[in-house]
Structure 1
Amino acid sequence: MSLFQYAISSDQSMAEEKTLMKMAEAFEELANIIRQSKDDGEEAKVELALFSRACSLVSPLFRCLGIAFKFAELDYVAKVNDLTEASKSILTLPVMMDGDIEANCVRRAGSHTKNLLRVKRGIDMVKVLFEHITCTEGNSLKDPASKAYAQVLAPYHGWAIRKAVGAGMYALPTKAQLLNKLNEDETSARMHMQSYIASAAPVIAYIDKLFISRELGIDW
């Protein structure tokens, strides 16, 4: 291995170290903000920078899942990058959405609001994946991953993408290989996955409510 290849490998290992813990902690922070606002009877003003940072921490997981989720990874990362860039000039998620509504560009390709909807589905797919992993015996990820994809992303993908994802499912790492890539053991992984499941749920519900309360719908 060359020095350059070693540097890349080291960077990837560092990026993937404690990925699950970082994801769980970041989404717990978002969930706490949302819960507090709900207790106060207000619409949560979640900071776009905080949200996009939390979402960026999910990206290494998609990479660890391999070719089956390569399209989802590329699409997700691009959308998160857009939200991160937008956070430099837009303070909160509601302000961002209201700006797109005012500009009449909500459904336009590349709009921040449309990208938010796509990112939300990525967060949701990981949540459903973790739900199936934590309640499924054995070392294969094919069944949990197939169910998560079918439930969350497949309804919005064309035939060609669905077929490519289906073929890629046979190249998924085993559960043991995934945990090794993420530098986790069975116990720590389960704990962090369950924490993410619990904290991602109110974040997903919050985003859905932002869309529904503005009569934008969420199935597009």
Structure 2
Amino acid sequence: MADLNDEKPLRNISEAFKELAATVNSQTADLEVAPFSRACSHLSPLFACLGIAFKFAEKDYVAKVNDLAGASKSIGTLQALVEQDVEANTLRKGGSHSRNLLRVKRGLDMFRVLFEQILVTEGNSLKDAASKSYAQALAPYHMWAIRKAVAAGMYALPTKAQLLKKLNEDEASARIQMQSYVATSAPVILYIDKLFLSRELGVDW
């Protein structure tokens, strides 16, 4: 797992997703579970940087990424992972790899929206950016009690300056890495959606 001792978490994320996006965009190879789960693990420390509001999301995300990392020892590609659950009729079962994949994808999407919002928001507050990213990517799938806890935790968010300090970045370097992740995560998220939608399995469960 990546941790906050990594000198440049944003750089690790940016590099890892560039590689995933290159694979997806080449359309010659299926995305493998091992590099995918490894890339996703680089995002785990970012939840901690956002504080108490995202504590539940952090625990959930880390557990699901760990599950996919474990699955990578016996399953080669994300495509094979979904097909295995379809054949075993375990697709929508709690704890299935496919279900966990969808939840990890929502975490990726949350950070994509968060970075997008940070890039266009003036000022030092992260509240609007964090609220929008949570509302768009995670809130529709969370129970009322969790949504309420997240809303209450938004008062404890770090400022933008505090976040950048935790990430060992200045504003200019952070912008480059965030823009890179926004651009490279989009095709990866789309690829995962297509894995489910092309089989008419839906993604809202």
**TM over 0.5, yes or no?**
yes
Q: CA deviation at 1:72?
A: 0.4
Q: Aligned equivalents of 1:100 and 1:163: distance in 2?
A: 33
Q: 1:116 to 1:12 in 2, by over 3 A?
A: closer
- The 1-side partners of 2:98 and 2:136 are apart by 22
Q: Equivalent residues in 2 for 1:164-175 (5 A)?
A: 164-175=149-160
Cα distance, 1:77–1:13 mapped onto 2, change above 3 Å: closer
Residue 66 of structure 1 aligns with an amino acid whose one-letter code is G
Q: 1:172-199: CA deviations, max 9, x gaps?
A: 0000000000000000000000000000
| Distance change (3 Å), C-alpha of 1:169 and 1:48 | same
Q: How many residues align?
A: 204
Match of 2:16 in 1: 26
Q: 1:35 is matched with which residue?
A: 25
**Where does residue 195 of structure 1 map in the other structure?**
180
Letter in 1 for 2:154: M
TM-score by structure 2 length? 0.97
Aligned to 1:129, which of 93, 114, 117? 114
Q: Partner of 2:197 in structure 1?
A: 212
Match of 2:163 in 1: 178
Q: TM-score, normalised by structure 1?
A: 0.91
Quote how far apart the aligned CAs of 1:12 are. Answer: 5.3
Q: Give, in angstroms, the shift of residue 152 of structure 1.
A: 1.0
- Which residues of structure 1 form unaligned runs of 5+? 1-10
| Aligned residues: CA RMSD | 1.1
Q: Give distance in 2, aligned partners of 1:78 and 1:50.
A: 17
Query: In structure 2, what is the Cα distance between the partners aligned to 1:26 and 1:53?
Result: 8
- The unaligned stretches of length 5 or more in structure 2 are none
Are positions 1:86 and 2:76 aligned together? no
Once the two structures are TM-superposed, the CA of residue 215 in structure 1 deviates from its matched residue by: 1.2
Q: Distance in 1 between matches of 2:179 and 2:101?
A: 24
SS of 1:14 mapped into structure 2 = coil
Separation (CA, whole Å) in 1 of partners of 2:139 and 2:75: 31
> What secondary structure sits across from 1:165 in the alignment?
helix
Structure 1 residue 96 displacement after superposition:
0.8
Partner residue, 2:102: 117
Residue by residue over 1:18-62, the C-alpha shift from the partner in whole angstroms, topping out at 9 and shown as x without a partner, is: 10011011011000001111xx5xxx4111000000000000111
Runs ≥4 residues deviating over 6 A: none
Matched, 1:14 2:5: yes
Structure with greater Cα Rg? 1
